[in-house]
């Protein structure tokens, strides 16, 4: 049933785009795909057997969050759960919100996505706009939910696209600064040394993903105090 519903939604999204204009290369790069449906269905089965508590903290996004295997330990005692799926782009997060975001009405959502959009040459405005659309969809159904955007990493793998990464982050930071329901967090300081050089030892051979928990401990030091403040404020 879930697969059929998502396929139908995907078909309608493509039809809508084709009614307006013939898909340009940029639009095609931005379009959602069904390539992660098996991962989504695995989450749905997992949640059917052991659903997360409602009103907690959802981490969602791409592989940087997906591979944060000790997230719950690092964020304790904050009640967090992780529904990131590797390789995802911002349009694909939008496509799967009904399964991964809304069922448990998170009080706070921590969002990391856009890195794969940058690699796929999705226009910066589209990446930022997809985050804005994500927020609009969240607040249309969960008006009290806070959304936290975690900056796209300036990974060594993207060194030739750091200006693009910086541009997306700046666009989203501006959006977040205009709304008390949004928070922008820059985690890039955890990934660079005192001279401003990337900490290469943190990374796997792909120069994108992390080979140990060291980078995630750096993220924790930046993210956890802000989440704790938001959580405590929301509980009042």
How confident is the model over 118-167, as pLDDT tens digits?
Answer: 999 999 999 999 999 999 999 999 999 999 999 999 999 999 999 999 99
Please state the φ and ψ torsions of residue 46, each to the nearest 5 degrees. -60, -45
Evaluate the CA torsion angle 71, 73, 79, 81 in order and state its sign. positive
Mean pLDDT of 200-222: 97
Q: What is the pLDDT of residue 171?
A: 98
Across the chain, mean pLDDT equals: 89
DSSP 225: H
Q: Per-residue pLDDT for 20 more than 60? A: no
Nearest to 145 by CA among 40, 219, 60, 29: 60
Buried b / exposed e over 75-84, threshold 16 CB at 10 Å, is: beebbbbbbb
Are residues 175 and 131 in contact, defined by beta-carbon separation less than 8 angstroms?
yes
Measure the CA–CA gap between 226 and 184, rounded to whole angstroms: 10
Q: What is the pLDDT of residue 86?
A: 85
2-235: CATH topology is Rossmann fold (3.40.50)
Report strand pairing: 182-185 vs 108-112: unpaired
Give the Å distances, CA to CA, from 95 to 5, 91, 111. 11, 6, 15
Quote the pTM value. 0.87
pLDDT digits (tens, 9 = 90+) for 72-115: 999 999 999 999 998 999 999 999 999 999 999 999 999 999 99
3-state SS assignment for residue 188: helix
pLDDT digits (tens, 9 = 90+) for 226-235: 999 999 998 7
| Annotated domain spans of the chain | 2-235
Measure the CA–CA gap between 147 and 156, rounded to whole angstroms: 27
Helix (H), strand (E) at residue 32: none
């Amino acid at each position: 049933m879930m697969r059929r519903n998502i396929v139908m939604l995907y078909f309608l999204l493509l039809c809508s785009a084709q009614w307006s204009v013939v898909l340009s290369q940029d639009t095609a790069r931005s379009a959602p795909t069904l390539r992660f449906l098996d991962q989504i269905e695995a989450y749905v089965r997992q949640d059917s057997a052991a659903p997360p508590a409602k009103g907690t903290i959802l981490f969602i996004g791409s592989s940087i969050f997906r591979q944060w295997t000790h997230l719950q330990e690092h964020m304790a005692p904050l009640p967090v759960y992780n529904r990131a799926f590797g390789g995802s782009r911002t349009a694909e997060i939008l496509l799967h919100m009904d399964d991964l975001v809304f069922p448990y009405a998170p009080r706070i959502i921590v969002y990391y996505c856009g890195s794969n959009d940058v690699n796929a040459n999705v226009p910066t405005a589209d990446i930022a706009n997809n985050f804005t659309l994500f927020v609009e969809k969240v607040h249309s159904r969960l008006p009290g939910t806070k959304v936290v955007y975690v900056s796209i990493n300036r990974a060594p793998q993207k060194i030739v696209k750091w200006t693009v990464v910086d541009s997306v982050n700046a666009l989203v930071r501006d959006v977040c600064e205009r709304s008390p329901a949004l928070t922008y967090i820059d985690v890039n300081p955890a990934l660079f040394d005192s001279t401003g050089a990337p900490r290469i030892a943190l990374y796997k051979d792909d120069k994108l993903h992390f080979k140990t928990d060291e980078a995630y401990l750096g993220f924790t030091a930046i993210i956890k105090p802000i989440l704790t403040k938001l959580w405590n404020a929301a509980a009042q």
